[in-house]
A and B are shown apart, each in its own frame.
Chain A
Amino acid sequence: MAGTSFKGAEIKDIDHHLKGGGIDSDREKEIGQHIGYRYDVNLLPDYDRLTPFLKDYLEFMGWDDLNWLEDIHMGYEEGNPAVFDRNINGWVSIPADMDLPDNQQDRDMIARELLIKFQMSPKHPLVQLNSAYRKF
């Protein structure tokens, strides 16, 4: 059978991946692990929901909108909320004690803010890699 029967954009329950541990498709059941690339990556941001931190970040960078952050969404890994950091090619877990809003737009804004804080942190893994391997 061509194509998958499981499409992230068709999920209506905001907490779907939190409740079931993200194990939905036959393949996920076989490997016992959630496959994280099936979210609705086409959801456009609602700019009325920008956080103050994000507004300051956009002003700092000289951008009129979210720019690359338009592609950042909150995802879920193994039943936990997480955001994907392209710089380390891995998921970063959202702090367990953080209350999640009841809609994807606000969750995405939180994910964007957390990702910026993580990437700009002196403790980001790339900082050490940079100092160890930078050639020029």
Chain B
Amino acid sequence: MADVSTEDHVSHEMGLHTEQLSGRTQQTFFDLTEEGGFAYTDSFEVDFNKRAEIDASNMGAKEVNLRIRELMQEGNGTIVLKNPGAKHSLCVGILNKLNVIVEGSLGYFGVGLIDGPNVRIKGRVGWSCAENMMAGTVVIEKNAGSTFGAAIRGGDLVCKGSVGSRTGIDMKGGTILVGGDTGAFSGFMMQRGRMVVCGNAGKNLGDSMYDGTIFIGGEIVDLGVDAVPGELTDLDRQWLTRKLSMYEMLPEKGVDHFTKIVAGRQLWNYDNLEPAEKKLIL
């Protein structure tokens, strides 16, 4: 048999082997004893004590985001963004450990698609803040718009004020903390993760949620389809106390008054739907 081609070799290295893989298991080709570090292999080495500033008053969103990347390449672990001017799509796509301090407000889709940084925003944020966030912490000192934390996958997203409607829509993980109230349809189609609202919740809370947990400290206007009350456990209380204390949001009266909302799981129709889909394909 002829030698394998360069393409075949690359494919093999990427895990694309010719042998039959059983099930859906990913074959792993790494040794647990190898030193891999704590960061992605292509991430920048930054020092939290090395600090830089960006004045965004005369810059576009793309310029700001590229400048953040350059500063990370130079090893800056703390970046202060001044005069953001509520521009849209600022501080997006940061896949690195980093401290970001925003001295002002962000527009739509701020800090979206991030994986790792700790962001503190001293103003407000517009729609879809931290959309698709993967990891890290985002703390907003004032209020936030609608679809706060849309499709969030992981990390802590904190708004010390109130947020608009559809908070955590389609969230698949992570934690959303709200110090004030949240609007209608919060937790819509939630699939995983935790949402904590210290104030009140609007109409249709947790509508069509498949999984995950919602904790509400105030009044709930009404619950959405398949959202049902759950039992607040000791582990829940410990976790709530711990998490809210971390962000200095623990209510004076503690956490015992929180209402826990979970999925009733009456929408778990996979067993019934999948054969129908298969039939359609065939």
Q: How far is the CA of A82 from the CA of B13 in the complex (A)?
A: 22
Q: How far is the CA of A93 from the CA of B268 in the complex (A)?
A: 26
Chain B: which residue is nearest A32 at the CB level? B23
Contact yes or no, A41 B192, CB < 8 A? yes
B60 at the interface (CB under 8 A from A): no
Contact of A78 among B25, B99, B156 (CB under 8 A): B25
User: From residue 27 to 78 of chain A, which have CB atoms closer than 8 A to chain B?
Assistant: 27, 30, 33, 35, 41-42, 44-47, 56-57, 60-65, 67-71, 77-78
Give the shortest distance, in Å, between B63 (CB) and chain A (any CB).
14
Contact yes or no, A57 B262, CB < 8 A? no
0/1 interface trace, chain A 91-111, chain B, CB 8 Å (1 if under): 111010000000000000000
Q: Interface range on chain A: under 10, 10 to 19, 20 to 34, or 35 or more?
A: 35 or more
0/1 interface trace, chain B 3-44, chain A, CB 8 Å (1 if under): 000000010011100000011111011101010111111100
Contact yes or no, B212 A25, CB < 8 A? no
0/1 interface trace, chain B 210-248, chain A, CB 8 Å (1 if under): 011100000000000000000000011011001100100
Contact yes or no, A67 B265, CB < 8 A? no
B113 at the interface (CB under 8 A from A): no
* Chain B residues, CB < 8 A from A86: 134, 153
* Chain B residues, CB < 8 A from A33: 23-24
Contact yes or no, B235 A121, CB < 8 A? no
Residue in B26, B134, B236 with the greatest tally of chain A CB atoms within 10 Å: B26
Give the shortest distance, in Å, between B242 (CB) and chain A (any CB).
7
Q: How far is the CA of A113 from the CA of B151 in the complex (A)?
A: 25
Q: How far is the CA of A26 from the CA of B174 in the complex (A)?
A: 32
User: Knowing A4-B265, A86-B153, A90-B26 touch, does A30 contact B42 (C-beta < 8 A)?
Assistant: no
Contact yes or no, B15 A4, CB < 8 A? no
0/1 interface trace, chain B 91-108, chain A, CB 8 Å (1 if under): 000000101000000000
List the interface of chain A (C-beta within 8 A of B).
Answer: 1-4, 7, 25-27, 30, 33, 35, 41-42, 44-47, 56-57, 60-65, 67-71, 77-78, 80, 82, 85-86, 88, 90-93, 95, 114, 116-125, 127-130, 132
A sample of 13 cross-chain residue pairs with beta-carbon separation below 8 angstroms, ordered by A number, consists of: A27-B270, A35-B270, A41-B211, A41-B212, A44-B235, A61-B97, A67-B137, A68-B135, A71-B154, A116-B38, A121-B36, A122-B36, A127-B42
List the interface of chain B (C-beta within 8 A of A).
Answer: 10, 13-15, 22-26, 28-30, 32, 34, 36-42, 48, 97, 99, 116, 118, 134-137, 153-156, 173-175, 192-194, 211-213, 235-236, 238-239, 242-243, 246, 262, 265-272, 274-275
